[in-house]
Chain A
Amino acid sequence: MRISPKMATLLTLSVIMLIAPFFFPSAYYFRIASLVYVNALAVVGVVILTGYAGQISLGHAGFAGIGGYACALAPVYLGLHPAASVVFGALASGVMAWIVGRPILRLKGYYLAVASLGFGILVSMVLTNEIAVTGGPDGMKVADLGLRSWLSERGLSLTNGQFWYTITALLLLAGAWLALNLENSATGRALRALHGSETAAGTVGIDVASAKLTAFIISAVYASVSGSLIALMNRMITPDIAGYMHSIEMVTMAVLGGSASVAGGVFGAAILTLLPQALTSFDQYEQVTLGLIMMLVMIFLRQGLLPGLASLLKGRGA
C-alpha cells in the first residue's frame, strides 16, 4: 500500500506522540512536550500563511494574546466556560484578522509584515495598559478547565502533565490534519499559486486578495488556540504572550524547521523549544549557542532543517 505524504506526516506524528511518554523520566518532560505541541500548533498556522501563501506576519503573537486573554477574561466577564472561551477567542481572533487583513492584504510586498507588526504591538499595549480589565503587566489568573477533574470522576485519573500532554497532542494532530487537508484542496492550491506569482495567480482566475485573507484568518485562529492553551495550561497569563519576541519566535520556528511543510514547522517548534532547555547548563553562553545554531542552519540548510536534511540524505542516496 502506498502511503500519501499527508498520511505519512500524521502517522509519524501520532506514533511519536504515543511512544514518547514511555521515555519520559519525569513529569517535567510532559510539560516540555506540551509546550512543543502548543508552539507547533501556532507554527502550523504560520506554515499556512508563510509556507503556503508566501505572506509574512510579524504580529501573530497578538492573536495568541487575544486567545489567551479570552480564556482569562470571558469566564469572568461573560460567564463562559473556559473551553467555550477557547472557541470565543478563536472567533474573536478570526474576526480581528478579517478586519485587519482586509485592507492590508490588498497591498503587495512587505505591507502585511509591517502592518501585522503594528497590530501585534497594539494588542500587547492594550493588554499592558488596560490595568483595570487585564491586570496590567503582572497579568491575571485563568480559570481551571475542569476537564481533568471531570475525567478523574469517571475513572480516568491523569496527572496535570499527562492531561495537558494529551490535550495538546490531540489538538496539534487535529491542527496538522486540517492544514494538510488544506494543502491539497482548491484553496491550498490557490494559496500556493499566489506564493509563486501573484500576477500569474490572478490571470488564472484566483481572487488573490481573498485567498490571502483566508490564509491570514486561518493562521490567526491557530495562533489564538495556541495562546488559549498556554493560558489554560499555566493557569495564569501576562502580556508577554502578545509580545513582539513571541511573534518572532513563531516565524523563526517555522523558517528554521522548514516553513513549506507542516512537518517542517512542527520540527522547528520542537527544536526551538527543546534547545533552550538543553542549553541552560551553558549559562550565559546559551543565547550565543542558540544564535550560532540558527545562523548555521540558515547558511547551510536554506530551506529549513527538515527539508534541508531530507535533501542531503537523498543526495547521498543517489
Chain B
Amino acid sequence: MSNPFKTLALAGVATLALSASALAEIKLGATISETGPASFLGDPEAKTLKLLVEKINAAGGIKGEKIKLFLYDDGGDPNKARTFATRLVEEDGVVAIIGGTTTGTTMAVMPVAGENKIPFISLAGAIEIIDPVQPFVFKTPHTDKMACEKIFEDIKKRGLSKVGMLSGTDGFGASMRKQCLAVAPAWGMTIVADETYGPKDTDMTPQLTTIRGKEGVQAIVTPGFGQGPAIVTRNYNQLSMTIPLYQSHGVASNSFIQLAGAKESEGVRIPGTALLVADLLAADDPQKKVVTEYKALFEGATKTPVSTFGGYAHDAFAIFVDAAKRSKSFKAVDLRDAIEGTSKLVGTTGTVTMSAKDHIGLDLSSFRMLEIRNGGWTLVK
C-alpha cells in the first residue's frame, strides 16, 4: 500500500518545483511582534521593513529582481512565531527570514530555520541566539554583554569601580543582569549591590535606598526596559541621589526621556547607537550617511521619531540585500554563505563584519556612550 504522506510529499515537491521555475522575485519572510507587549519594538521594525522593501523595489530591486515581503504579526507569542515561521518556509517559500522581535519568539523560530536550512536574521538581544553559533542564525542588535562592557568601560574611565545593580526581572533585564555579573570582574568592577524589580512595579525607592546604603557604592547600573527604568530615574531624583546612573540600551529612545522627565533624566548615561544622535555625529563619521538617510526615510514616511529598534530591522535588511548582491544565487543556502561573508557593512547599529564564529559582527566601538542633557542626547567624549 502506498504511503498517503509520501504521495502528498511528492505532490508538494511538484508544486514547489513548479513555483520555483516561475520564480521572478526574491521572497523575504518576516515574523515581527507588531502587536502585544513587545509592540514598541516590533512596530517600528515592521514599518522599517515595509519602507525599505518599497524603496529598493522602486529602485529596480536586486540584480533586476524585486523583493516580495511576507510579513506576519506574531504578537510576541513564541508559539505563533513558530507557526508563522513554518508558514513562511513551507507555504510562502521564502529564502530568508528576518524577525523574532523578542528572544522568546527568536528561540521559537530558530529550529525551523535550522531544519529547513533558511538563513534567519534575528532582531532580539540575548547572547544565547548566537552563542553557540548556529549555521543559519544571525542577529543585528548588540548583545547585553556588549552593553555591560560599554557601561563598565565608561565607569572605569571615570575612575570608579564599585557598582550597585538594579535589574528588571523581565527577559531583557534578567539576561543583561546575568551578563553584567559575568563580565564585571574582567573590567575590575565590584558589584556591591544586586537588587531587582518586577516589570509592573511602580516604586523602586526601597531598592534604591538599599543600594545607597551600601558602603562605597559609586555608580548604579539598571538593566531593564519598558517603564521600569523611567521609574527608577524618577525615584533616584526623589531621593536626591548623585552617584552616576547608567541605564541600558533597552531604553535608548526619546520616549524614555519623556517617561522619566527631562529634568529627572539629566545626566543619565546610556549606551546607544549612532542613530539616536545622527545630527551630532561628525561629518566624517562612517555611520553618518547611513543613519541620516534612514532617519529621513523613516521620519518622513511615518511622522514618528526613529528608534534603535527600527534600526535593527534596517540593518537586518541591509545585511540581506548586501548578501543577495554578492551571493552566487538567490537560493537560501547560498544566501546564508553570503550573509556569513558580510564584511565592513555600515549599518545604523554599527559596522558589521561577520565570520563563521561571529554571527553578529559588531564590536564595542559601535556603541556610543550617550548622556542626557536638557532633555536631549549628547555624546560622551
| B5, closest chain A residue (CB) | A162
Chain B residues in 8 Å Cβ range of A7: none
In the bound complex, how far is the Cα of B167 from the Cα of A129, in angstroms?
Answer: 13
With an 8 A cutoff between CB atoms, is B207 at the interface? no
With an 8 A cutoff between CB atoms, is A49 at the interface? no
| A159-B5, A160-B115 known; A230-B79 Cβ under 8 A | yes
Do residues B12 and A26 form an inter-chain contact, with CB atoms below 8 A?
yes
Q: Please pick, from A31, A162, A276, A287, the residue contacting B86 in the complex, using a CB distance under 8 A.
A: A31
Which of B102-110, B210-218, B366-374 forms part of the interface with chain A?
B102-110
In the bound complex, how far is the Cα of B12 from the Cα of A283, in angstroms?
Answer: 28
With an 8 A cutoff between CB atoms, is A146 at the interface? no
Q: Please pick, from B5, B7, B73, B82, the residue contacting A234 in the complex, using a CB distance under 8 A.
A: B82
With an 8 A cutoff between CB atoms, is A110 at the interface? no
For B139-179 the 0/1 string (1 means CB < 8 A from A) is: 00000000000000000000000000000011100110010
For B1-40 the 0/1 string (1 means CB < 8 A from A) is: 0001101110010010000000000000000000100000
User: What's the nearest-Cβ distance from chain A to residue B207, in Å?
Assistant: 16
In the bound complex, how far is the Cα of B107 from the Cα of A161, in angstroms?
Answer: 19
In the bound complex, how far is the Cα of B5 from the Cα of A159, in angstroms?
Answer: 9
Do residues A35 and B83 form an inter-chain contact, with CB atoms below 8 A?
yes
| A26-B91, A131-B174, A234-B82 known; A138-B103 Cβ under 8 A | yes
User: What's the nearest-Cβ distance from chain B to residue A3, in Å?
Assistant: 25
Chain B residues in 8 Å Cβ range of A197: none
* Chain A interface, number of residues (Cβ within 8 angstroms): 39
| A27-B12, A28-B91, A138-B104 known; A240-B79 Cβ under 8 A | yes
Given contacts A136-B175, A238-B107, 15 further A-B contacts (CB under 8 A): A21-B4, A26-B15, A27-B12, A27-B86, A32-B83, A136-B169, A137-B174, A138-B107, A138-B128, A139-B78, A141-B107, A230-B79, A234-B82, A277-B83, A280-B73
With an 8 A cutoff between CB atoms, is A128 at the interface? yes
| A238-B104, A240-B79 known; A24-B8 Cβ under 8 A | yes
Chain A residues in 8 Å Cβ range of B115: 160
Chain B residues in 8 Å Cβ range of A137: 104, 170-171, 174
With an 8 A cutoff between CB atoms, is B72 at the interface? yes
Chain B residues in 8 Å Cβ range of A31: 82-83, 86-87, 90
Chain A residues in 8 Å Cβ range of B5: 21, 158-159, 162
Q: Please pick, from B8, B76, B77, B103, the residue contacting A22 in the complex, using a CB distance under 8 A.
A: B8
For B113-128 the 0/1 string (1 means CB < 8 A from A) is: 0010000000000101
Chain B residues within 8 Å of A, Cβ to Cβ: 4-5, 7-9, 12, 15, 35, 72-73, 76-80, 82-83, 86-87, 89-91, 103-104, 107-108, 111, 115, 126, 128, 169-171, 174-175, 178
Chain B residues in 8 Å Cβ range of A236: 78, 107-108, 111
Residue of B9, B107, B175 ringed by the most chain A CB atoms within 10 A: B107
In the bound complex, how far is the Cα of B174 from the Cα of A238, in angstroms?
Answer: 14
Do residues B86 and A28 form an inter-chain contact, with CB atoms below 8 A?
yes
Chain B residues in 8 Å Cβ range of A28: 86-87, 89-91
In the bound complex, how far is the Cα of B87 from the Cα of A161, in angstroms?
Answer: 12
In the bound complex, how far is the Cα of B104 from the Cα of A241, in angstroms?
Answer: 12
With an 8 A cutoff between CB atoms, is A81 at the interface? no
Q: Please pick, from B8, B15, B35, the residue contacting A21 in the complex, using a CB distance under 8 A.
A: B8
With an 8 A cutoff between CB atoms, is A6 at the interface? no
With an 8 A cutoff between CB atoms, is A25 at the interface? yes
In the bound complex, how far is the Cα of B79 from the Cα of A230, in angstroms?
Answer: 8
In the bound complex, how far is the Cα of B164 from the Cα of A94, in angstroms?
Answer: 44
What would 19 A/B residue contacts be, using CB atoms closer than 8 Å?
Answer: A21-B4, A21-B8, A22-B7, A25-B12, A26-B90, A31-B87, A35-B79, A137-B174, A138-B104, A159-B5, A160-B115, A161-B90, A236-B107, A238-B78, A238-B107, A238-B108, A277-B83, A280-B73, A286-B73
With an 8 A cutoff between CB atoms, is A235 at the interface? yes
A:40-99 near B, CB below 8 Å: none
Chain B residues in 8 Å Cβ range of A277: 83, 87
Q: Please pick, from A131, A141, A234, the residue contacting B79 in the complex, using a CB distance under 8 A.
A: A234
In the bound complex, how far is the Cα of B8 from the Cα of A29, in angstroms?
Answer: 12
User: What's the nearest-Cβ distance from chain B to residue A199, in Å?
Assistant: 42
A:2-32 near B, CB below 8 Å: 21-22, 24-29, 31-32
| B84, closest chain A residue (CB) | A280
Chain A residues in 8 Å Cβ range of B171: 136-138
Chain A residues in 8 Å Cβ range of B35: 284, 287
Chain B residues in 8 Å Cβ range of A32: 83
In the bound complex, how far is the Cα of B91 from the Cα of A161, in angstroms?
Answer: 13
Q: Please pick, from B4, B72, B80, B126, the residue contacting A138 in the complex, using a CB distance under 8 A.
A: B126
User: What's the nearest-Cβ distance from chain A to residue B142, in Å?
Assistant: 17
User: What's the nearest-Cβ distance from chain A to residue B126, in Å?
Assistant: 6
A:211-256 near B, CB below 8 Å: 230, 234-238, 240-241
User: What's the nearest-Cβ distance from chain B to residue A82, in Å?
Assistant: 15
Chain A residues in 8 Å Cβ range of B86: 27-28, 31, 161
| A273, closest chain B residue (CB) | B83
In the bound complex, how far is the Cα of B178 from the Cα of A136, in angstroms?
Answer: 12
User: What's the nearest-Cβ distance from chain B to residue A39, in Å?
Assistant: 10
| B82, closest chain A residue (CB) | A234
Do residues A139 and B91 form an inter-chain contact, with CB atoms below 8 A?
no
In the bound complex, how far is the Cα of B46 from the Cα of A29, in angstroms?
Answer: 25
In the bound complex, how far is the Cα of B5 from the Cα of A41, in angstroms?
Answer: 24
Chain A residues in 8 Å Cβ range of B103: 138
In the bound complex, how far is the Cα of B115 from the Cα of A276, in angstroms?
Answer: 25
Chain A residues in 8 Å Cβ range of B104: 137-139, 238, 240
Chain A residues in 8 Å Cβ range of B91: 25-26, 28-29
